[in-house]
Chain A
């Protein structure tokens, strides 16, 4: 196998990727491409990026041996890459810092972003506050309702949150609206895309900024586990945390790369977000990739308990890695992810994001089928604080918010450990 060196100059990963946008955006993308090429290897840019990751984000994030859980499962040893310990609680911030530093160098005083669950919006708002940039976040009006806490967080950080009423009123529509804003305000605005999708150079650039995750693992795994892992496992919505940890391992041919998609209520139902497993190639949001669509080529609504995986497309590099067989893609249902969420809290003392719980769930399925000397590395891409409402609703357990709010009445009925254990067993 030749050393992996994609995308090509025009942003293609095989037949995927590319620049499928209206002419009105071409000049902005050309400008971005030129500036990224200029600063990508610039020592001063790298120094500032790494310094910010160290002092503002708290990198490197540790690799942690989930020993108790591994022992209970009786098979392969499971390690977590702790992206949940980053400032803002997830991997998203790595990329936001990289792009915001570019925005500064391009002299753009205003940044915009799309968000689904709100994690990328919060990370963008955070970084915008840090660098004194104006920040506008587009968010589907359905998501605004579902993720009230993150909306409030963004506002605290000084961002303007614009609810998007078009289409299905979710992440894909927020992305459309952000693109429309960018076309209109391209002179003073930098669009910080949150995942490895969109037109070239975004899939490549976001991957590069996120690949700090895998780079650290290359050093950390020999230190803590004595060797590189047998498999690297990460959840895939758009696919940025997965590309971040996969990319440095692509040339390590013996390391299996496993992406976990949201199987929602089941891959045989129409309520899931498994673009790679169940989709077909098409064009959306500036790139060619696997898409969930109907027979007329209209994009269909997706479902996952985890808002961060709820997207009908996927980064084009994942589409390519799937086709060439370098990465495998599997599905984990809402139910499996929720069960794993509770187990992770009780067994390891870590509250994972529901997105990350999908990756962990697959690892706990795989581990018992392997011998004890095998090693699995899971990207624990974010923490679960944001998911308290969802989990409490799905689990039928009460949740305490604040004394005056409606839910406060149920605080007295908060569950104890026995109830949760009972629930997991069901």
Chain B
């Protein structure tokens, strides 16, 4: 059984919502990524989404864009991200790791080679932002062969038909984009989100996570009333950057402390 399924299985048994932090691998530095992952796991992260930086992150808002630019400037690459995951797995064999990024770095590595390397490194799921289901049949099958979960996005604009199509391919969980816009944008109408999440849950057989625009414990708690998981990205990434500006090396501590607070709010 995939680590993601195990995690959601035991969360369900204890009636808890999964907390999924997102960080960009390589930002603010390549060395900071591994300790940050451990800090997040210790602070109660149920799954860690690791962003693979890309030169043209078209679905991301300014915070993740700049974060990706910084990571690339430090020399981060898909190969190095996999090395970080392998290193993480030497001491953590339970927290699922999902890679989130864009298609081109994966295609440049050759997709079959990437799938094998990711599985060997201990990755559990892969979310390719610009692989919608109609372009991802074969890639999803490749992932499945190595027991990796293809994670897909759903949007407020997704029709019932599309939700069903995504439901057929999705493993692990689906990621519902809670607002019209890019990552980190605007503010969230939690009532509207709750309705849509209920509709998705009725169609999709895997757990439903919600992300884009969740920036504090209180919003996370309200979204968590209906969603199976909440994903928080831009708020952590920005906070880590600010922390490092004040004191270099403090970013992992910040990420852990910050996530503990969200965890507490979520479990209240």
Contact = CB atoms under 8 A, between A and B. Distances in A.
The answer to whether A and B belong to the same complex is yes
Contact of A297 (B59, B104, B157): B104
Contacts of B103: 20, 282-283
B130 A21 contact: yes
A175 B58 CA distance: 8
A110 interface: no
Nearest to B109: A297
B242 interface: no
Interface residues of B, number: 43
B132 A23 contact: yes
Nearest to B186: A184
Nearest to B105: A297
Contacts of B107: 281-283, 297
Interface in A70-125: none
A20 B102 CA distance: 10
Interface in A275-296: 280-286, 291, 293, 295-296
A150 interface: no
A299 interface: yes
Given A19-B135, A167-B69, A183-B180, A24 B157 contact: yes
A298 interface: yes
A28 interface: yes
A26 B132 contact: yes
A311 B61 CA distance: 22
A20 B56 contact: no
A283 B58 contact: no
Given A166-B69, A172-B56, A296-B108, A24 B180 contact: yes
Contacts of A296: 77-79, 105, 108
A22 B158 contact: no
Contacts of A180: 58-59, 61, 181-182
A299 B182 contact: no
A184 B158 contact: no
B108 A184 contact: no
Given A26-B158, A166-B69, A184 B182 contact: yes
Nearest to A180: B182
A145 B203 CA distance: 51
B142 interface: no
A183 B106 contact: no
Interface residues of A, number: 38
A280 B109 CA distance: 12
B24 to A, nearest CB: 14
B61 to A, nearest CB: 7
A22 B78 contact: no
Contacts of B153: 22-24
Contacts of A300: 55
B268 to A, nearest CB: 31
A298 B61 CA distance: 19
B258 interface: no
Nearest to B129: A22
Interface centre among A176, A280, A283 (most CB of B within 10 A): A283
Given A27-B155, A27-B158, A27-B159, A297 B58 contact: no
Interface string A1-19: 0000000001000000011
B108 A186 contact: no
A266 to B, nearest CB: 24
B207 to A, nearest CB: 17
Interface string B231-242: 000000000000
Contacts of A281: 107
Contacts of B109: 297
A274 interface: no
Interface centre among B65, B108, B181 (most CB of A within 10 A): B108
A166 B65 contact: yes
A128 interface: no
B197 to A, nearest CB: 15
Contacts of B55: 167, 298-300
A14 to B, nearest CB: 14
A143 B92 CA distance: 48
Contact of A22 (B59, B72, B105): B59
B132 A19 contact: yes
A299 B56 contact: yes
Interface in B34-92: 54-59, 61-62, 65-66, 69, 72, 77-79
A172 to B, nearest CB: 6
Contacts of B61: 180
A249 to B, nearest CB: 30
B77 A24 contact: no
Interface in B159-175: 159, 162, 166
A183 B181 CA distance: 5
B130 A283 contact: yes
Contact of A27 (B104, B152, B157): B157
Interface string B4-47: 00000000000000000000000000000000000000000000
Cβ-closest 5 pairs across A and B:
A297-B108, A297-B105, A27-B157, A283-B103, A23-B153
6 contacts: A26-B132, A180-B61, A282-B104, A285-B56, A299-B56, A300-B55
